[in-house]
Amino acid sequence: MINIAVVGYGYWGPNLVRNFSEVRGARVAAVVDSDTEKLAIVNRRYPGVTTTTRLQDVLADSSIDAIAIATPVHTHYELGLAGLMAGKHVWIEKPMAETSVQALRLLDEAERRRRVLIVDHTFIYTGAVRKMAEIIRGGELGRVYYYDSIRVNLGLFQRDVSVISDLAVHDFSILDHLLDEKVGAVSASGTNHFPGAPENLAYITLFYDSGTIAHVNVSWLAPVKVRQILVGGSRKMITYDDVEPSEKVKVYDKGVSFTDDPKQIYQMRVGYRTGDMWAPKLDVTEALQVEGAHFVDCIDHGTKPQTDGRLGLRVVELIEAATNSMRRKGETVYMQRQEQAA
116 shares its domain with 141: no
Distance (Å, whole) CA 21 – CA 273: 49
Distance (Å, whole) CA 242 – CA 152: 12
Confidence of residue 250 (pLDDT cuts 50, 70, 90): very high
96 shares its domain with 224: no
Return the CATH number at 29.
Answer: 3.40.50.720
What pLDDT does residue 341 have?
Answer: 43
Burial class (CB in 10 A: 0-12, 13-18, 19+), 288: buried
Decide if pLDDT at 265 tops 80.
no
Decide if pLDDT at 156 tops 90.
no
**Angle at 293 (CA atoms; ends 291, 296), nearest 5 degrees:** 110
What is the percent of the chain where pLDDT is above 70?
93
151 shares its domain with 99: no
245 shares its domain with 140: yes
106 shares its domain with 167: no
Summarize pLDDT for 67-97 with one digit per residue, the tens. Answer: 999 999 999 999 999 999 999 999 999 999 9
CB pairs under 8 A, 24+ apart, for 8-13?
8/32, 8/33, 8/69, 8/70, 8/71, 9/33, 9/35, 9/38, 9/39, 9/41, 9/42, 9/70, 10/35, 10/38, 10/70, 10/71, 11/70, 12/70, 12/93, 13/70
What pLDDT does residue 157 have?
Answer: 83
Return the CATH number at 248.
Answer: 3.30.360.10
Domain count for the chain, please give it: 2
Domain span at 128: 124-284+318-334
| 177-193 average pLDDT score | 96
94 shares its domain with 132: no
What pLDDT does residue 200 have?
Answer: 96
Summarize pLDDT for 9-43 with one digit per residue, the tens. Answer: 999 999 999 999 999 999 999 999 999 999 999 99
Confidence of residue 342 (pLDDT cuts 50, 70, 90): very low
